Amino acid sequence: MYKLAFLIPHFNHSKNLAKLIKRLSEFECEILIVDDGSDKEHKEILKTLNARVIYRKTNGGKGAAVKDGFKFLAQNGFTHALQIDADMQHDVSYLSGFLTLSKERQNALICANPIYGKDAPKARLYGRKITNFWVYINTLGARIKDAMCGLRIYPLEAVSKILHHCKADKMDFDIDILYLLFKAEIEILWFDVPVRYEKDGVSHFRAFKDNFLISKTHAKHFFALPKFIFKRLIGG
């Protein structure tokens, strides 16, 4: 039986959270916030929201928070998790179509294909192009439209089988788990979703550290290509 919950990783990002929770409540699904060691003032705001919250004692990174959320939801009978960021960059009005597609193709990973406007920082766009290039190489030319967008619906049964292989705990998580699910031959479907950037928006992306981790993830899968190609050749 299809049972979905919204999964929001959170770290000191409560500015738009109440607005996001209000919009998500319209879908009548469980809402789970995984707080990744936020400051006290942000934790106080979480207490006022109409959502279930689990707290990590220390900040481990976006990936660590999402993985804890996956495990919690799977243990509590949920079949799918819709991961969405707390900053409301993604247009929530598009989620109805997103959810419909997931219900129709319940074994598939549903990924947002972000549509950027003129407000998108050039550095972000260039960084995405580089990542998408390496994903194209490391998947032998698969049609992966975007490897970094955090708006996705994950089938938790499939995720549970590969999660122990996912070592990425920071901003490299979205890329690493996409690689792993692709290699596990999980169907990946795409849904166009507009993305907006606020002028005073808060970002926890660390230019040097996170780009290093992302590069490390691409390198790991690049050097695993011979094994991946061999498995494909023998049909394993």
The fold for domain 4-235 equals Spore Coat Polysaccharide Biosynthesis Protein SpsA; Chain A (3.90.550)
For 164-179, the three-class secondary structure string (H helix, E strand, C coil) is: HHCCCCCCCHHHHHHH
For residue 41, what pLDDT band results from cuts at 50, 70 and 90?
Answer: very high
Lowest mean pLDDT among 12-16, 54-58, 104-108: 12-16
pTM of the model: 0.93
Q: Which amino acid is at 161?
A: K
Determine the average pLDDT of the residues in 89-104.
94
Closest CA to 189 of 235, 155, 156: 155
Does residue 204 surpass a pLDDT of 70? no
Which uninterrupted H or E stretch holds 80?
strand 80-83
For residue 71, what pLDDT band results from cuts at 50, 70 and 90?
Answer: very high
Measured CA to CA, the distance from residue 195 to residue 159 in angstroms comes to 26
Give the per-residue pLDDT at 203. Answer: 60
Determine the average pLDDT of the residues in 79-88.
94
Neighbour tally for 228: CB within 10 Å: 17
| DSSP string of 110-155, one letter each residue | EEEEEEE-TTS-HHHHHHHHHHHHHHHHHTTS---S-SS---EEEE
Distances in Å between the alpha carbon of 89 and those of 59, 114, 153, 196? 22, 10, 17, 5
Q: Where are the domains of the chain?
A: 4-235
Give the per-residue pLDDT at 210. Answer: 81
Does residue 202 surpass a pLDDT of 70? no
